[in-house]
Structure 1
Amino acid sequence: MSSTIYKLIPEDVHFMPEKANVEQVRSYLASIFPVDKISIEQSEDIQFVDQGENFDQITCPSCDTVIELKWWHQAMDNAWQSAFKDLDVQLPCCSAHNTLHGLHYDFPAGFSRLIFEIENPEEEVTAEQVRMVEQLLGCKIRMVNARY
Structure 2
Amino acid sequence: MSDDVRAVIPADPRWQPDRAAADRTAAVVAGLVPRDENVDIDVTWHETLTVVDCGQNLERIGCPQCGASIDTEWWADLLSGRFVSL
TM bracket, shorter-chain basis? 0.5 to 0.7
Matched with 2:69 is: 66
More strand by share: 1
Matched with 1:30 is: 30
Distance in 2, Cα, partners of 1:13 & 1:35: 32
Deviation at 1:14, TM superposition (A): 2.5
Distance in 1, Cα, partners of 2:38 & 2:14: 27
Q: Which has the higher contact order (CA 8 A, sep 6+)?
A: 1
Q: Which runs of 5+ in 1 are unaligned?
A: 88-148
Amino acid of the structure 1 residue aligned with 2:51: F
Distance in 2, Cα, partners of 1:27 & 1:74: 33
1:81-110 C-alpha deviation (Å, 9 max, x unpaired): 13xxxx3xxxxxxxxxxxxxxxxxxxxxxx
Over 3 Å counting, the alpha-carbon distance change for 1:40 and 1:12 in structure 2 is same
Query: TM-score normalized by structure 2?
Result: 0.65
Matched with 1:20 is: 20
Displaced runs of 4 or more, over 6 A: none
Deviation at 1:73, TM superposition (A): 4.2
Distance in 2, Cα, partners of 1:66 & 1:22: 31
Over 3 Å counting, the alpha-carbon distance change for 1:26 and 1:50 in structure 2 is same
Distance in 2, Cα, partners of 1:14 & 1:24: 21
